[in-house]
Amino acid sequence: MDLVKSHLMYAVREEVEVLKEQIKELVERNSLLERENALLKSLSNNDQLSQLPAQQANPGSTSQQQAMIAQPPQPTQPPQQPNVSSA
């Protein structure tokens, strides 16, 4: 019984470490996306921003309109971190 218990405890600890690493990566990715969102908002004009609520009601056209918003020339951005998953 002790062998089973120790094996399960080891497996749980290992899974906890994997989940902690995934949380860390997701927090970093979220931070990166928030910075990118702020940059895109600063580069867009008020007309484009006023269209966003209408886009959310119509998800089919969202990607096309967002691509149009993202097209203005962008200033130099810091290099993005690679998206690595540990699953």
Question: 2 vs 6, 12, 13, 14, CA distance in Å?
Answer: 6, 15, 16, 18
Which pLDDT value is given to residue 50?
A: 79
Which pLDDT value is given to residue 69?
A: 47
Per-residue pLDDT of 65-84, as tens digits, reads 455 545 544 445 555 555 55
Per-residue pLDDT of 2-61, as tens digits, reads 999 999 999 999 999 999 999 999 999 999 999 999 999 888 888 877 777 766 666 555
Pairwise CA distance, residues 82 & 29, whole Å: 10
Q: Where are the domains of the chain?
A: 20-48
Which pLDDT value is given to residue 73?
A: 47
Which pLDDT value is given to residue 86?
A: 52
Question: 7 vs 12, 15, 87, CA distance in Å?
Answer: 9, 12, 21
